[in-house]
Amino acid sequence: MLDLRKRYDCAWDEALRPRGEGELDKEDFTSWWERNGERLAHLAPRIAEQWIYRHWTHSYTAFVSLTDLTWRLESWSGDEVLNRAHMEFGGPFAPDDDYKIFNGARGFGPNATARAMNAGSWDMPLLLLETPSGIQTQDGEMPLVRFLVAEGSKRMRYLHALRARGEGEGPHEVFILKSPAIT
């Protein structure tokens, strides 16, 4: 059972840190991948881009070792995503408010997440960490949780808002990450 009651140390090699991380002149993904792609060849580049490169150690799942990680790409309906994927961080869902905010209630127009999903689905698959024995949180044990959102809380929030309106049926691609350390 994956225990999420505490924050774990980052398991990622510091050599993978994007140059300029946290600064305005952060290197672009192409340059970063040229330097690190061979070490991460067992991962799809889109996984590396959205999880490691984009979020670096700000991801609450940076404790997952990248060394033995495997992945698969699946296509789920919107309801499957909401029923099967657990979002421990980034909630609670507020469908009406989220819909308004993502679509520009503040005068900026729809954000990138809303633009992609309003056209049918997200433009980057959701990252789910497989949790075969469930999870433990501050609220207790959840042995039936099989998939934890590793990255993509905004996509989850907006999908929830769309499904509340009868939209966002999908299909939606999800990357499922499996670690031998999480049983």
Q: Residue 108's pLDDT is what?
A: 76
Domain 68-183 class, CATH top level? alpha beta
What pTM did the predictor assign? Answer: 0.93
Q: Residue 91's pLDDT is what?
A: 73
- Residues 177 and 36: their CA atoms lie apart, in Å, by 19
- Residues 116 and 124: their CA atoms lie apart, in Å, by 9
Per-residue pLDDT of the chain (183 residues; tens, 9 = 90+): 999 998 899 999 999 999 999 999 999 999 999 999 999 999 999 999 999 999 998 888 999 999 999 999 999 999 999 999 999 987 788 999 999 999 987 677 899 999 999 999 999 999 999 999 999 999 999 999 999 999 999 999 999 999 999 999 999 999 999 999 998
Domain definitions of the chain by residue range = 10-66, 68-183
Q: Residue 105's pLDDT is what?
A: 74
Q: Beta strand pairing status for 147-151 and 2-3?
A: unpaired
Task: Compute CA distances 73 → 30, 33, 100, 122, 127, whole Å.
Answer: 22, 20, 30, 14, 10
Q: Residue 79's pLDDT is what?
A: 98
